Amino acid sequence: MQFSDLALRSAKPPPTGYSYIWDTALRGFGLRISWRGTKTFCVLIGDGRRQTIGRYPYPMTLADARVVARRILAEKTLGRIRPKHVAFEDALADFLNECAPRLRPLTHKLYQRHLTLHYPFGRSGVADITPRQLIKQLNALNDRPSEKEHAHRIGRTFFKWCVQQNLIDRSPMENMATPPIGPSRERVLTEDELTAVYRAASSGTTPFHRLVSILLLLGLRKMEAARLEWSFFNEKTHTLTIPGELTKNKRTLILPYGSAISAVLERTPKLSGKHLFPAARGHVKGKPTTVMTGFSSSKKAFDKECGVTDWVLHDCRRVVATGLQKLGTRLEVIECVLNHVSGSRAGIVGVYQRYDYLPEMREALEKWEQHLAHLAERE
C-alpha cells in the first residue's frame, strides 16, 4: 500500500508472529506488525534481510521514517552498508543455494558437508568469526591432511563469496597458508589380499558385495559405481556408458564388460527401476536419498568377513591399474579404462586423437576378469 498515517493506524496485526506491509512509493521501505499490535518501521537491505529503524508512531513518525529509510537505501545502493548481523548458517544457506545451479550435485554435496562439519558456527555472526577460530577448527584435521586441504579450500571459497556479497569486509582466511595436500595413497592389495577381497565380494549377497565386485572388475570410482543405472548397460554390445555429468572429469565413459559383470547384474535385484544400488531409506537425517549410503559401516563388516584391513574403496582403482599393467596392457589403454585425461588424450594431442581404444579395453578387461577368476578358484 502507499503509506499514510491513516493506512498505518488501521493496519491489523496477524493472529501469530509477524506480518509485513511495504510502501509502494518507496521501494524497500516497510512496516513490521507483531501479533501484539506493535508496529515497527524497517528497511529491506538484503535478500530476505531487514533492518528495523524505529517504532510507529512513537518515537518515530512516518515522515521521520521516510527520511531515515531513504538514507539507508541510498547507502545500500552505494554498497556502504550491509546487514548488522548475518548468522553463519544463514549465509551458508544462501551460498549453497546460489552455487547449486553451477555445481555438479556431488560437488555441491561436498561443499555442504565440509562447511557444516568443519565450520560449526551456527548462529554466530559471519563477521565475528576470527582467523584464530578457523585455525583451531582446521588444526583438528592435522591427522587427515587431505581432509584438511579440502576443508580449507572450500572454506576460503565461502568467505570470499561473503566478501563479494558485502557481508564482511575481509575474509578471515585471507592470510592463512594453504595446507599441504599430503602424500598420495600408494596402497595396492597383495595377491593374497586381492584373492580374499574378490572371493568375499563375488560370493556375497548384499549390495555392498556387488559394489566391491564392480569396483574390482572395472576400476570405477566409488560414487560412479554407486550411482549406476540399469539404462547405462547395453546387453547387446556389452558396454557400460556413464554420462559425463556423473564422472569426475565430465567426460562420458564407455567401458566394455564381460561375463563377470553380467553375473553381477543377474544377481542384482531390481529394487528400483532406475538405480542398481538404490538407497535403503527415502530420507537420511531428514534429507532425501536416491542411492546407497553408509559405506563405512558396510566396509567394516566386509573387512571382518574377508580378513583384509587398512584399505579403502578407492584403492580398487589402483589395484585395477596396477593389475592391467602387470598383464601387459599399454598405458594409454589403462588411462582410457580409468577415464583419465592424460597422455594420448591430453592437451592438443587429445583434440586430434579421437580413437576410443574400445577393442583394446575389451581385451584388457577380459584378461583382468580371467585373472580375478583364477585367483578366486585357486586353493
What is the model's pLDDT at position 273? Answer: 81
Mean per-residue pLDDT, 309-338: 94
Assess if residue 252 is contained within a domain.
yes
Asked if residue 300 has pLDDT above 80, the reply is: yes
Assess if residue 359 is contained within a domain.
yes
- pLDDT tens digits, one per residue of 127-181: 889 999 999 999 999 988 889 999 999 999 999 999 888 788 789 999 999 888 7
Question: Which residue type, as a one-letter code, is found at position 195?
Answer: T
Asked if residue 348 has pLDDT above 50, the reply is: no
Asked if residue 354 has pLDDT above 70, the reply is: no
Question: Do residues 284 and 244 touch, judged by C-beta distance below 8 A?
Answer: no
| Domain that residue 65 falls in | 5-77
Q: Is residue 117 located within the same domain as residue 220? A: no
Mean per-residue pLDDT, 343-356: 56
Assess if residue 83 is contained within a domain.
no
Asked if residue 192 has pLDDT above 60, the reply is: yes
- pLDDT tens digits, one per residue of 360-372: 999 999 999 999 9
Domain count, the chain: 3
Distance CA 272, CA 274 (A): 5
Q: Is residue 219 located within the same domain as residue 315? A: yes
Q: Is residue 70 located within the same domain as residue 217? A: no
Q: Give the three-class secondary structure for 76.
A: helix
221 Cβ neighbours under 8 A, 6+ residues apart: 247, 248, 314, 317
What is the model's pLDDT at position 219? Answer: 95
**Which residue do the cell numbers 512496516 mark?**
31
- pLDDT tens digits, one per residue of 31-59: 999 999 999 999 987 656 678 899 999 99
The residue ranking higher by pLDDT, 359 or 292, is: 359
Q: Is residue 21 located within the same domain as residue 92? A: no
Q: Is residue 215 located within the same domain as residue 349? A: yes
**Which residue do the cell numbers 564388460 mark?**
257
Name the pLDDT band for 342 (thresholds 50, 70, 90): low
What is the model's pLDDT at position 114? Answer: 94
Asked if residue 99 has pLDDT above 80, the reply is: yes
Mean per-residue pLDDT, 226-236: 94
Give me the CATH number covering residue 132: 1.10.150
Strands 253-256 and 233-234: unpaired
Question: What average pLDDT does the structure give for the chain?
Answer: 88
Has this prediction a pTM greater than 0.85? no
Asked if residue 73 has pLDDT above 80, the reply is: yes
Give me the CATH number covering residue 41: 3.30.160.390
What is the model's pLDDT at position 374? Answer: 94
* Cell numbers representing residue 202 in the block: 563375488
Q: Which range has the worst mean pLDDT, 203-217, 221-235, 286-300, 359-373?
A: 286-300
